[in-house]
Copies of this chain bind each other. A is one copy, B any other.
Amino acid sequence: MARPRPLSGFPEFSPASRIVEQQVLDGLRRTFELHGFASLETRAVEPLSQLLRKGEIDKEVYVVRRVHEEPGEAADGAAEDGLALHFDLTVPFARYVVENSGTLVFPFKRYQIQKVWRGERPQEGRYREFCQADIDIVGRDTLPGHHEAEMALVMAEALTSLPLPPLRMQVNNRKLIEGFYRGLGAADPAAVMRSVDKLDKIGAEAVRADLVATAGLGEEQAEACLALAAITGTDARVADRVRALGVSDPLLEEGLQALVAVLEATAGIAPERVEIVADLSIARGLDYYTGTVYETRMVGFESLGSICSGGRYDALASDGRTTYPGVGISFGVTRALVPLLTRGVLAASRSTPTCVWVALVDEESRPAARRTAEALRRRGIAAEISPDAARFGKQIRAAERRGIPFVWFAGAAEDGGDQVRDIRSGEQVDADAHRWDPPAEDLRPRVVRAATD
């Protein structure tokens, strides 16, 4: 074949970058499991009709059909309208919950790390195939509010375990803003929210005009909405600042308490790695959020937008009789990592898991080399044997090009024993494959962060 070109929007990693991604996924999994989230994977396809029902994503869905299927033929007996690739992990999870509600135990906590597909125009931070890591907690009929604080706590803890730049998690509450707009006398709180949601894009003056023209507010009401959106804070004083605006409403009060509960539950998280801040301008575009909402930005990479977002929804799914309220956050793994890898902010210390390259004197000694490698592996040390018995200088360079730190020489010691060389320093010492250990930091490839980020 002629040399193939990459497909725009379908990023693929080098072996070294994949090591970075794997360690990020391992870190997420570890934290999620420590908090009792069970792993789940759903199939890649859903009935097209189900995906198209879910809002404004329809232009971006990829349909899937067998290549020899006749036009009009059902893609699958079980789905008359054909199948499409999922565009997120929330819709498939909602379907899975309803399908399996008879056997799941609620509240059900799950994490899900999978690829999703969207036919969007590719650009930095936007891909056609990308990996998401979601956590959700879903209840049957009810879901206590403390899970909204738990969600922020778990995801913030997971993110701080990763080699990412410092993060800023912004939290708000839909009850708070809706209650505030109601208490202010707004006839259409949803219209107010849609206006305020444009703050980032069009600025305060344009939003003020929009609030008056579109949402039907008076000048003073519009002013109060902008004052609310300007409030940020990291502790309970944020509630005082809201109350100082002089609006009162039971829903507002409920939202304030929930917001403060999130801040208090996450107060122990490493503040130099993630700042968790109430930001009352955050609304999240989607209609279905009903409580806490979350967005997260990487400091220095704000242009990527939020890399980790979610919220509380009172009806994740319903089968007619039963409703399943939930709260969830989704971390855009590919979205966050590709820019960091491309710019060299993150890198792997080597491009292979191998820690020790077992050199070969001649082809006849391969069985002995195999026993050496086996002794190392049995104690968890990744080892591979030279593919050929080239001269040692060439073998050392072969190891070097892969970033492998150690080369093993059978019978190189004065007493006929083995030696191992750290090829970075050139230091070579006597060693026994049944006892020798590499320094802990060399055992596996490490993720290295550039000093400049």
The answer to whether B67 and A319 have CB atoms under 8 Å apart is no
The answer to whether B382 and A105 have CB atoms under 8 Å apart is no
Bound Cα distance A84, B63 (Å)? 11
The answer to whether A352 and B18 have CB atoms under 8 Å apart is no
Could you give, for residues 262-304 of chain A, a 1 whenever the CB lies within 8 Å of some chain B CB and a 0 otherwise?
0011001000000000000000000000000000000000000
Q: Which of A44, A78, A129, A387 has the most CB of B within 10 A?
A: A387
The answer to whether B36 and A5 have CB atoms under 8 Å apart is no
Task: Give every chain B residue within 8 A of A147 (Cβ-Cβ).
Answer: 387
The answer to whether A144 and B387 have CB atoms under 8 Å apart is yes
Task: Give every chain B residue within 8 A of A175 (Cβ-Cβ).
Answer: none
Shortest CB distance A48–B (Å): 7
- How many protomers of this protein does the assembly include? 2
- Decide yes or no whether A58 CB sits under 8 A from chain B: yes
Using a CB-CB cutoff of 8 Å, which residues 40-76 of chain A contact chain B?
A: 40-45, 47-48, 50, 52, 58-68, 76
Q: Which of A59, A62, A103, A129 has the most CB of B within 10 A?
A: A62
Task: Give every chain B residue within 8 A of A85 (Cβ-Cβ).
Answer: 64
Could you give, for residues 14-57 of chain A, a 1 whenever the CB lies within 8 Å of some chain B CB and a 0 otherwise?
11001100100000000001111111111111011010100000
The answer to whether A105 and B36 have CB atoms under 8 Å apart is no
- Decide yes or no whether A366 CB sits under 8 A from chain B: yes
Could you give, for residues 152-174 of chain A, a 1 whenever the CB lies within 8 Å of some chain B CB and a 0 otherwise?
00000000000000000000000
Stretch at the interface among A94-102, A194-202, A414-422, A432-440: A94-102
Shortest CB distance A145–B (Å): 10
The answer to whether B105 and A351 have CB atoms under 8 Å apart is yes
The answer to whether A42 and B12 have CB atoms under 8 Å apart is yes
- Decide yes or no whether A346 CB sits under 8 A from chain B: no
Bound Cα distance A83, B64 (Å)? 10
- Decide yes or no whether A449 CB sits under 8 A from chain B: no
The answer to whether B268 and A374 have CB atoms under 8 Å apart is yes
Task: Give every chain B residue within 8 A of A264 (Cβ-Cβ).
Answer: 367
The answer to whether A67 and B61 have CB atoms under 8 Å apart is yes
The answer to whether A352 and B38 have CB atoms under 8 Å apart is yes
- Decide yes or no whether A110 CB sits under 8 A from chain B: yes
Interchain residue pairs with CB less than 8 A apart (20): A1-B95, A2-B319, A3-B319, A4-B95, A4-B98, A8-B77, A10-B43, A15-B40, A35-B383, A36-B384, A44-B44, A44-B129, A48-B67, A59-B67, A62-B64, A62-B65, A63-B66, A63-B67, A265-B367, A265-B370
Since A3-B99, A34-B383, A147-B387 are in contact, a sample of 6 more A-B pairs with Cβ atoms closer than 8 Å, ordered by chain A residue number, is A13-B40, A18-B38, A34-B382, A35-B384, A59-B66, A146-B363
Interface residues of A (CB under 8 A from B): 1-15, 18-19, 22, 33-45, 47-48, 50, 52, 58-68, 76-79, 83-85, 95-96, 98-101, 103-105, 107, 109-110, 115, 117, 119, 128-129, 139, 144, 146-147, 264-265, 268, 317-320, 351-354, 363, 366-367, 370, 374, 377, 380-384, 387-388, 398, 401-402
Nearest 10 A-B pairs (CB), nearest first?
A36-B384, A36-B354, A33-B353, A66-B119, A10-B43, A15-B38, A34-B377, A61-B67, A4-B99, A7-B78
